[in-house]
A and B are shown apart, each in its own frame.
Chain A
């Protein structure tokens, strides 16, 4: 027996939606931080600065968008950064041994997508728990990266690759454009297309989705394949940005950042809510938090602490609002 009383027809019930408030907190918070920072930091409001922030987030933003698709279905993907790292390594090695940069990009995307498909297969068809699957693929791909590179970063990436990937389109470096384009397309796709509807339906109530003849398993599979694909794009961007691939480039904090970006961007851990644009904003938000903490000279470690607390707080609020609204978790 549910405990919510159905509202008699005719009542204006549209405003009573406290569970949605949480989706707007990051926007509000972002605006607040922007205002504060622009007051405090002299050159903050310059275009240059904005562009620089966006570039820093391109890889993170892409991964967060990929994760969003998975989160909407009510799943989880912890392996995204490892997939990115591994595919970057493979592509880099390919280039180092003389392969064409273009083909290397294709390889990176294919490898990452394949990894995503592996996750998707295990979740959708082997019916394993997403967290468990992606925890183990995280281990596998992380381990594979280390193995293939013998623990060292892959250098010797052709200049051509870097300059091509990082060249400017108008005022933005290509990665930023890619990020924005992907964000917009993903957003439109998720909110307006058939598959997007299916995605939200599966995440809201998979049983009802099945009854309505939505291919739920296919949708699940696709969401992981997508996050793999996007991880591949992120691999290209990161490799060009850093000029190297592999090693243990801050890989530890990345998963937290990716999940935090999505969660702060209003994507719910429990499924059925959130948008790609939200994740994009969330990624910017996270980067701003990092930069701000840097600016006030908090140590790297404190940023970990702050992020850890923020993400738990957000999810706690989310689950509290959901329970108040009478839904199920």
Chain B
């Protein structure tokens, strides 16, 4: 049975803590450097955050089913690398090459899905394995070279409509689509149901395996899209593409309220908040002149806090009143 939760100060803090923290951070950074709190800066922040937001949408669904995927950075790199090599090596039409990247990403996601759902391997190990396998393949395919892409494509990365970067709009569209999927499709509801408890979901007739498999495919697809976007932003394919992305995505999601335990969280505003939090910290640290190397440490610390908060939230959820023993 499930028990009523009372809204205590603790619960409030857990749910809204990060939001408050973001506001506080923005205030501090703005005091320090007046330029921080400007529209231009805000747009730059969003621009930088766009690829991570897109990647995160895919992983979000995987997390919501209570599983995990730490291979998306490598998936991004591999799918993009294949596309680029097709373009350069086989002289495939650039547009076509870019488009092919997407189904490749979905396929790689499907491989993950297969290993986790069909072979029943622990998702952590499975995606740890693909993290290295995909990256290795990608480095092999691209010879770990930095390859610049044709100008016409590269320019897409910095296109704007007025002052607003196009990729921000693109990310917004992706978020909107996923929000719709999450809240208004049967699949989206099934994802949340599985995350609440796979056995109960099975009892009610939900296709648990199929749902999980699809989430992995989507994660792969979004990873490839995010990879393409990153490539556009820096106008080249670099051997470090996607590195650390899985980390950022998970941190962003946990901060934004998607629980690692499954069944909780939102696309909007969760992902936006998480992405904002991370990029604000990053750019804020920049602004106050902290060394570039502080950021990974700070990010690590934030991840720890966010995950601790997640654990706490999960424990409260579990304080259930059970008067009935199992028969």
Interface residues of A, Cβ cutoff 8 Å to B: 76, 122, 126-129, 131-133, 135-144, 146-147, 149-151, 252-253, 256, 259, 269-270, 299-309, 311-312, 315-316, 319-320, 323
Q: How far is the CA of A23 from the CA of B166 in the complex (A)?
A: 54
Contact of A136 among B130, B133, B304 (CB under 8 A): B304
Whether A311 lies near B140 (C-beta < 8 A) is no
- Interface contacts (Cβ under 8 Å), in number, total 138
- Chain A residues with Cβ under 8 A from B17's Cβ? none
Chain B positions 120 through 160: 1 when the CB is less than 8 Å from some CB of chain A, otherwise 0 = 11101110111111111111100010000000000000000
Known contacts being A140-B301, A304-B133, is A147 close to B293, with CB within 8 Å?
Answer: yes
Q: How far is the CA of A55 from the CA of B296 in the complex (A)?
A: 32
Whether A269 lies near B140 (C-beta < 8 A) is no
Known contacts being A150-B293, A308-B129, A308-B136, is A131 close to B124, with CB within 8 Å?
Answer: yes
Contact of B125 among A135, A144, A304, A312 (CB under 8 A): A312
Considering residues A253, A302, A304, A309, which has the most beta carbons from chain B within 10 angstroms of its beta carbon? A304
Q: How far is the CA of A76 from the CA of B122 in the complex (A)?
A: 12
- Chain B residues with Cβ under 8 A from A270's Cβ? 122
Q: Which residue of A lies closest to B141 (CB)?
A: A301
Shortest Cβ distance from residue B318 to the other chain A in the assembled complex, whole angstroms: 10
Whether B297 lies near A146 (C-beta < 8 A) is yes
- Chain A residues with Cβ under 8 A from B307's Cβ? 128, 132-133, 135-136
Whether A139 lies near B129 (C-beta < 8 A) is no
Known contacts being A135-B303, A136-B307, A311-B129, is A147 close to B297, with CB within 8 Å?
Answer: yes
Contact of A304 among B139, B247, B291 (CB under 8 A): B139
- Chain B residues with Cβ under 8 A from A76's Cβ? 124
Shortest Cβ distance from residue A260 to the other chain B in the assembled complex, whole angstroms: 9
Contact of B120 among A142, A146, A253, A319 (CB under 8 A): A319
Q: Given known contacts A138-B300, A312-B125, A320-B120, what 9 new A-B pairs fall within 8 Å (CB)?
A: A126-B308, A126-B311, A136-B307, A139-B303, A142-B300, A143-B295, A147-B294, A315-B126, A316-B115
Decide yes or no whether B315 CB sits under 8 A from chain A: yes
Whether A304 lies near B135 (C-beta < 8 A) is yes
Known contacts being A299-B140, A301-B139, A301-B140, is A128 close to B308, with CB within 8 Å?
Answer: yes
Whether A143 lies near B137 (C-beta < 8 A) is no
Shortest Cβ distance from residue B70 to the other chain A in the assembled complex, whole angstroms: 8
Whether A150 lies near B291 (C-beta < 8 A) is yes
Considering residues B247, B260, B303, which has the most beta carbons from chain A within 10 angstroms of its beta carbon? B303
Q: How far is the CA of A169 from the CA of B135 in the complex (A)?
A: 40
Q: How far is the CA of A139 from the CA of B120 in the complex (A)?
A: 28
Q: How far is the CA of A303 from the CA of B133 in the complex (A)?
A: 9
Interface residues of B, Cβ cutoff 8 Å to A: 68, 115, 119-122, 124-126, 128-140, 144, 243, 247, 250, 260, 291-301, 303-304, 307-308, 310-311, 315
Whether A139 lies near B300 (C-beta < 8 A) is yes
- Chain A residues with Cβ under 8 A from B298's Cβ? 143
Shortest Cβ distance from residue A259 to the other chain B in the assembled complex, whole angstroms: 7
Whether B300 lies near A143 (C-beta < 8 A) is yes
Q: How far is the CA of A302 from the CA of B297 in the complex (A)?
A: 31
Contact of B132 among A127, A308, A323 (CB under 8 A): A308
Q: How far is the CA of A279 from the CA of B311 in the complex (A)?
A: 31
Q: How far is the CA of A167 from the CA of B247 in the complex (A)?
A: 40
Whether A316 lies near B119 (C-beta < 8 A) is yes
Contact of A269 among B120, B125, B260, B300 (CB under 8 A): B125
Q: How far is the CA of A36 from the CA of B303 in the complex (A)?
A: 46
Known contacts being A302-B140, A304-B136, is A311 close to B125, with CB within 8 Å?
Answer: yes
Shortest Cβ distance from residue A245 to the other chain B in the assembled complex, whole angstroms: 15
Known contacts being A132-B260, A136-B300, is A146 close to B293, with CB within 8 Å?
Answer: yes
Q: How far is the CA of A114 from the CA of B300 in the complex (A)?
A: 17
Whether B136 lies near A143 (C-beta < 8 A) is no
Known contacts being A127-B315, A316-B119, is A305 close to B132, with CB within 8 Å?
Answer: yes
19 contacts between A and B (CB under 8 A): A126-B311, A133-B307, A135-B247, A137-B300, A139-B303, A140-B297, A146-B293, A146-B297, A147-B291, A147-B296, A151-B293, A256-B128, A256-B132, A270-B122, A308-B129, A309-B129, A311-B125, A311-B128, A319-B119
Whether A141 lies near B120 (C-beta < 8 A) is no
Known contacts being A136-B303, A253-B132, A301-B144, is A122 close to B308, with CB within 8 Å?
Answer: yes
Whether A129 lies near B140 (C-beta < 8 A) is no
Q: Which residue of A lies closest to B311 (CB)?
A: A128
Whether B121 lies near A319 (C-beta < 8 A) is yes
Shortest Cβ distance from residue A264 to the other chain B in the assembled complex, whole angstroms: 13
Considering residues B243, B291, B296, B300, which has the most beta carbons from chain A within 10 angstroms of its beta carbon? B300
